[in-house]
Amino acid sequence: MKKSVLGLATVLAIAALALQPTIVSAHHSFAAEFDANLSGKFTGVVTVVQFSNPHVRYRIDVKNADGKTESWEIQAGSVTSLRPQGWLADTIKVGDSITVEGQLGRDGAKKVYVRQVTLANGKPLLGIEGNNSGIAGNGAPVAPRPDPNAVNADPKVNYGYGQHNAAAPLDISGPWLQRYKFHVTVDDLEPKPTPYTAEGKKRREANTKYDDPALRCISLGLPRIFGNPYNLEVYDEGSHYLFLYVEHNSKRKIWMDGRKAPADGAPTSNGFSVGHWEGNSLVVETSNLLPGWLDGSGMPMSGKGTRTVERYTFAADHLSADRTMTIYDPLYTQPLVRTRGLARGANIDVNEQDSCDPNSYYGDLLESGLLEKHLKP
């Protein structure tokens, strides 16, 4: 049963919120900060606007039941995800009165992960997953979001930029939608329960939300970037494929000329990738990775001992692909598997992502008295 919180201007339980997907959860663990079963709705006046990646934040002043003013933090999705849906930097301004619905912070923290915002003019703000009102914050109509599990591409259109790898059975260059068959990159790896080694479990238990590289604006890298929902652009360079991820404007080379990963190569966030074709499937093996997280919940990755194998199996019409990543890491007793998809489509946005600002991360540390502990030498 869902819980509700009393004591704010207007508070109520919001049914089924926990079932709605969120983009920000692809970056870091929603569960680390918010209680999916604790939800509320209230009205306040905006005092601070931080419209920047990794996720948008506001501060609002809310009067509680005693008439006292409380400052609440409002968290939303990333700029990259909100802007195409009509939520812009000036949509919510300091001094605006807004009504917020969302899930509340854990342990009494005065923060909300927003699921819906209603502006002072009474219009719901499109930009939150699950809002199908078709109205942007400025009142302009917005086209309904397409079904992320449907392929809406035209089979008569050539979406590629040109094929230079003669051994490839098809042209995979051009833009791709990674939201196809997407699900949140938190606790998404199989099998379950997670087959930790003793050392892996120890490291997982030691990780906190403040250890998440995404909050410090560090590139997610592999294998995490494989699971994100932001678009991908591919260039066929003959000897290699160049993958350009909108996420953190990250680039990656996949060598197709038979070379091997250097045994003494320096580890990087995306590692060293080599690939080959097996029929309609592109198979990619990656090593030389930096240590990090496998997902947004803090599942650890050894880095030096990590190896990933990706398989992109393209449909007969070449308009979509099922993709699977198998992760081999000494912190786990079995390989871990992540599944996603790719789809072609018209007008796929592969423009450079807005820069990420770690100010909110260090502000949180300062406010919590943890800044010195988490400053890196």
Asked whether residue 199 is domain-assigned, the answer is yes
- Please say if the pLDDT value at position 141 is more than 90: no
- Please say if the pLDDT value at position 4 is more than 70: no
Q: What is the pLDDT of residues 253-295, one digit of tens each?
A: 999 999 999 988 899 999 999 999 999 999 999 999 999 999 9
Domain shared by 208 and 318, yes or no? yes
Domain shared by 99 and 246, yes or no? no
Q: What is the pLDDT of residues 296-326, one digit of tens each?
A: 889 999 998 999 999 999 999 999 999 999 9
Q: What is the pLDDT of residues 226-256, one digit of tens each?
A: 998 889 999 999 999 999 999 888 999 999 9
* Segment 65-77 mean pLDDT: 89
Asked whether residue 272 is domain-assigned, the answer is yes
Cβ-contact 102, 116 below 8 angstroms = yes
Q: What is the pLDDT of residues 22-64, one digit of tens each?
A: 333 344 456 667 787 888 888 999 999 989 888 899 999 998 8
Q: Of the candidates 269, 304, 263, 309, which has an alpha carbon nearest to the alpha carbon of residue 286? A: 309
Greatest Cα pair distance in the chain: 73
What stretches of the chain show up as alpha helix (H) in DSSP? 30-33, 79-82, 198-206, 359-368, 371-374
Q: What is the pLDDT of residues 87-138, one digit of tens each?
A: 888 999 999 999 998 889 887 888 888 888 888 888 887 544 444 444 444 4
Express as a percent the part of the chain with pLDDT over 90.
50
* Segment 332-339 mean pLDDT: 98
Distance CA 102, CA 74 (A): 9
Domain shared by 327 and 179, yes or no? yes
Domain shared by 107 and 194, yes or no? no
Domain shared by 93 and 187, yes or no? no
Asked whether residue 152 is domain-assigned, the answer is no
Residue type at position 264: D
Asked whether residue 153 is domain-assigned, the answer is no
Asked whether residue 43 is domain-assigned, the answer is yes
Asked whether residue 358 is domain-assigned, the answer is no
Q: What is the pLDDT of residue 296?
A: 87
Q: What is the pLDDT of residue 32?
A: 65
Q: What is the pLDDT of residue 13?
A: 33
User: Domain containing 124: what range?
Assistant: 3-145
Q: How far apart are the first and last CA of the chain?
A: 46
Q: What is the pLDDT of residue 31?
A: 61
* Segment 73-83 mean pLDDT: 84
Q: Which structure tokens are listed for 81?
A: 């995800």
Asked whether residue 360 is domain-assigned, the answer is no
Q: What is the pLDDT of residues 176-232, one digit of tens each?
A: 999 999 988 888 999 999 999 999 999 999 998 888 888 888 888 999 999 988 899
Q: pTM for this one? A: 0.78
Q: Of the candidates 340, 325, 298, which has an alpha carbon nearest to the alpha carbon of residue 196? A: 298
Asked whether residue 367 is domain-assigned, the answer is no
- The secondary structure of 110-123 as a DSSP string is SEEEEEEEE-TTS-
Domain of residue 271, CATH code: 2.40.128
- Please say if the pLDDT value at position 12 is more than 70: no
Domain shared by 114 and 184, yes or no? no
Q: How many domains does the chain have?
A: 2
Domain shared by 323 and 189, yes or no? yes
Domain shared by 329 and 207, yes or no? yes
